[in-house]
Structure 1
Amino acid sequence: MNPVTELSAIDFAALADTGWPTLERAGVAGWQVRTAGGVTKRANSAWSAGCAADASPDALAAVERAYRERALPPIFQLAGAEAAVRAALVGRGYRLVDETLVLAASLASLADQPRDIDIAITRAPDDDWLGAWWAVDGRGGAAELEIARQIVTGVPALYASLRVDGAVASVARLALVDTWGGLYCVATLPEFRRRGYGERVTRALLAAGAERGVTDAWLQVVARNDGALALYSRLGFAEVDRYEYLVGA
């Protein structure tokens, strides 16, 4: 795959906000306060939604109150250009966690890729798909898993899975947002790793998206995840943006 072109007009934060939907949101002091029971930072962080971020003490305090009223820690998702907000939050005792890269690629070369018959592609995740993903990435019990189910099914998406001896070994999800696909939930159970299953599942899922009219894909990956970055590089993804989370006490 070749890197996508003409990216200056693409708001990747907005794509990701759609592709991984929160359960509740509220406008607070110019910020979008997103909450989903604390399940994932993506769905439980304040985002400026493409507007000029308000770094004033009153605005930041209002966002903090909104999270604390919901018994959640205040978290801000900041793009690289939001240095003033970052400095203000650090001054309030926030800690920086999970610098995240946004990668994108064109799917043009996948449209005619031979189908991997061992990969199941569905329009909804079954319990086995959810269980495999949650076993790798999940934090919490049944209540948190139910929230996660609502998040991953909150927008149209495709779900890929590979079974080995009847058990789901590797999964991935592609959120469908117009002609873009958002790659999420790429997970392989520990006992099945280093066999190429994650790459097979991801390739098959992206090809299925291309067959359904998806022309380009994006994903988010923690900057320190060298293994995932190597995989996505082989698939033709290149960095187009980055952001970070700042977490309050």
Structure 2
Amino acid sequence: MEFTGGGRLEIRVTSADVGKRVSVRYVTGSGEAGGMFTDAVGVLTSWDDRVLLITRRTGEAVRIAESSLVAGKVVPAAPARRRGPSATFPELARVTARAWEPVESEALGGWTLRASFQEVPPGGRPGGAAVGRRVGFTRRANSVLPLGDPGLPVAEALAYARQWYADRKLPAYVQAATGAEGTQELLCAELDRLGWRREVSAEVRIGALAPIGDLDTDVSAVRLSRAFDETWLRRYRRFGEPGPAVQALLASGPSVWFASVAGPDGVPAAIGRCVVDGRWAGFMAVEVAPELRRRGLATSVMTALARQALDEGASAAWLQVEADNDGARALYDGMGFAPHHHYHHYRWAEA
């Protein structure tokens, strides 16, 4: 907080600081004796009608009445984490996007509109959808990726995106990020204001690749392949019966590897997918049979994939994990992965 020479708290933020990272203290509850002091640190994304909107690193939006402010100041950007490799948000956003290349895409200035879908066949219900509907596989390949100026006012660009997805009979999603320099807190606030609703949030984590490859774990049972097969898909059951679009998406990326550990009844005990892209190796689709968890199979799969990626010249690793997946987060903590930024999928809330 900011203190004057006499030790008093002072408000040193104004509406001119929208877009900057700030730290504020404010009173919650009653303004009388029952009120409590609360702090908020994040990007000041708006200051309208005497209400401040601060977006935290996690994407959480905090609304604060101007009258409740006690102190505040502009603060430097969050310091870069020294654990593992360094990375800018634009670099990492493009690398993670190339690991899930959409079947169809269109550029809108610096935005990319992405779609990867299949028709729900008669008698089939992929993802629980009704027959006759189209279903997109993974929001990462069925959302707008906004990494620059769309060449239109934001509201007009979003209206164009809504129509683009409507033409394909798909819900409209925008993927926006928070928590790293160059991310999109202002866009998140605009999406909220315009009626888009956040559905899913996840962390993008990064770490050094060599320590994963050096883990003392048995990888002799892990089979690596350039392609997945039917048995691999039987463990990867995130989309019902995967059609051609799903299979094309899984195979997409600069250098793709699939890992599996044999299991009973022809279904792998564990699987994984890795995409090598220059210095980066991305890990995804790491799944273990529920009855075989906590036996080191996920570690073995990731270690085998890491060694392959090291052989191809990669040195850094990334992965994405949903905020409520405590088991995976603990595993990745032990491997040296640290949060880089959060990303959020906003869906157009149709009337």
Q: Same fold (TM over 0.5)?
A: yes
Map 1:19-168 → 2, pairs under 5 A: 19-28=99-108, 30-37=110-117, 38-48=136-146, 50-52=147-149, 56-80=154-178, 81-110=183-212, 116-133=219-236, 135=237, 138-143=238-243, 146-155=244-253, 156-165=255-264, 167-168=267-268
Post-superposition CA distance 1:22-63 (Å, at most 9, x none) = 111102364210000111100000011x31466632111111
Whether 1:242 and 2:342 are equivalent positions in the alignment is yes
Name which one, 1 or 2, has greater alpha-carbon Rg: 2
Rounded to whole Å, the distance in 1 between the matches of 2:329 and 2:196 is 27
Q: When you count helix as a share of all residues, which structure comes out higher? A: 1
* Map of 2:307 onto structure 1: 207
Rounded to whole Å, the distance in 1 between the matches of 2:109 and 2:312 is 40
Structure 2 unpaired stretches of 5+:
1-81, 118-135
Please report the TM-score for the alignment, with normalisation by the length of structure 2. 0.64
Rounded to whole Å, the distance in 2 between the matches of 1:108 and 1:198 is 17
Q: Is the 8 A contact 1:55 1:84 kept in 2?
A: no
User: What is the identity, as a one-letter code, of the residue corresponding to 1:56?
Assistant: V
Whether 1:13 and 2:110 are equivalent positions in the alignment is no
The farther-off stretch of 77-86 and 216-225 is: 77-86
Map 1:171-182 → 2, pairs under 5 A: 171-182=271-282
In the superposition, relative to structure 1, how do residues 90 and 6 fare at CA in structure 2: closer, same or farther (>3 Å)? closer
User: What is the identity, as a one-letter code, of the residue corresponding to 1:198?
Assistant: A
Percent of pairs identical after alignment?
29
Query: Which of 169, 172, 176 is 2:269 aligned to?
Result: 169
In the superposition, relative to structure 1, how do residues 31 and 9 fare at CA in structure 2: closer, same or farther (>3 Å)? closer
- Which stretches of structure 1, 4 residues or longer, exceed 3 Å deviation after superposition? 52-55, 109-115
In the superposition, relative to structure 1, how do residues 55 and 195 fare at CA in structure 2: closer, same or farther (>3 Å)? farther
Q: Is the 8 A contact 2:214 2:303 kept in 1?
A: no
Q: Is the 8 A contact 1:203 1:235 kept in 2?
A: no
The farther-off stretch of 52-61 and 95-104 is: 52-61
In the superposition, relative to structure 1, how do residues 109 and 91 fare at CA in structure 2: closer, same or farther (>3 Å)? closer
In the superposition, relative to structure 1, how do residues 57 and 174 fare at CA in structure 2: closer, same or farther (>3 Å)? same
Please report the TM-score for the alignment, with normalisation by the length of structure 1. 0.88
> What do you get for the CA RMSD once the two structures are aligned?
2.2
Rounded to whole Å, the distance in 1 between the matches of 2:291 and 2:307 is 26
Higher relative contact order (CA 8 A, sep 6+): 1
User: What is the identity, as a one-letter code, of the residue corresponding to 2:93?
Assistant: A
